[in-house]
Chain A
Amino acid sequence: MSDQDRPAREQLMTVRADDRAEAVVLDVEGEVDDYTAPRLQAAIAAAFDRLGDRVLVVDLAHVEFLGSAGLGVLHRCALAARRDRGADALRVVVDHTRPVIRPIQLAGLDGVLALYYTVEDALVG
């Protein structure tokens, strides 16, 4: 197996945090699988820690792969956010990205997550 077939964890997924006045926006890029999902969970937890009254927007528009591990993170974070901060605190942007929206729908999470098409929509709420 060639080296280019063994990507580094950082190459598979990046999370960039954008702290704004009204929100923290996490821009997730790449592949969310069992290998990378713990970093997504850590990034969401860290954002919640400094969130205050703001909302957290998790932008998945640049995600190319979302497996069950990523679904599990989103599910757990949405339930925790709802319990601690109300239904509106965690907002997820999915665009029309098929590799993202399809697993969310198949797992029935479209009824659990607050989904938006764009970051702008999510910020308005």
Chain B
Amino acid sequence: MVPCHDRPPGRHDPRATEWSWATPVPELRLQLPADWLAPSIARRRLQRWLEVNGWSPGQAEDIVLVASEAISNSIEHGYRVPRDAVGSAHVVEVLAAVLAENGYRQVRLTVRDRGAWRPIAYGPSNRRHGLELMRSLMADVVVDGNPDGTTVVLTSRTTVVPPAAQD
């Protein structure tokens, strides 16, 4: 793992000329108690991480939306958590990483639960809308369900690294 810098290069950062976006962006890792506040907590954390790393508001919105949907799937279908539960012994793990190459980049989101898997495509209409949103907003959606839990890997569309953030 490359050492994490405490903040990314920005226009006012004196170190901005010393390193580029080729430098791996620190990943975002969240371990969320699987209750119904988890999606909103993840939205805030992910939004901040995307902003700090220079994603446009529109791109960030799409990524935050699909992350929220995937986490909701885990809570509802993986763990079947009641709406009013506060806290949970279960955990939803979220990992966000930037894949960057030749001036292009994507975000890869991994959302993992350890619950009993059910096919989300056949769930209630909320979840069907959620899956539609994920599929239409992401370049790639992989749902891997097995008896030990479900892992959803969402890869955002490729975007050009903003010129201001390049060398």
Q: Which one of B38-46, B145-153, B158-166 is at the A interface?
A: B38-46
A103 to B, closest residue via Cβ: B133
Q: Which one of A4-12, A14-22, A85-93 is at the B interface?
A: A4-12
Q: Which one of B12-20, B64-72, B92-100, B107-115 is at the A interface?
A: B64-72
A34, B39: Cβ atoms closer than 8 Å? yes
Residue A96 at the B interface, CB < 8 A? no
Assess A67 versus B132: contact at CB under 8 Å? Given A5-B44, A72-B125, A98-B58: no
Q: Which of B49-66 contact A (CB under 8 A)?
A: 57-58, 61-62, 64-65
Query: How many Å lie between the Cα of A72 and that of B128 in the bound state?
Result: 9
Q: Give chain B residues whose Cβ lies under 8 Å from the Cβ of A1.
A: 32, 41
User: What is the number of contacts between chain A and chain B, taking CB atoms within 8 Å?
Assistant: 76
Interface of A is mostly: helix
Q: Give chain B residues whose Cβ lies under 8 Å from the Cβ of A59.
A: none
Residue B8 at the A interface, CB < 8 A? no
Residue A54 at the B interface, CB < 8 A? no
- Seen from chain A, the residues whose Cβ lies within 8 Å of a Cβ on chain B are 1, 5-7, 12, 31, 33-35, 38, 65, 67-69, 71-72, 75-76, 98-99, 102-103, 106-108
- Seen from chain B, the residues whose Cβ lies within 8 Å of a Cβ on chain A are 32, 36-37, 39-41, 43-45, 57-58, 61-62, 64-65, 68-69, 72, 75-76, 83, 124-130, 132-133, 136-137
Going nearest first, the 9 A-B pairs with the smallest beta carbon separation are A68-B130, A68-B129, A72-B126, A35-B36, A71-B129, A68-B126, A107-B129, A106-B136, A5-B41
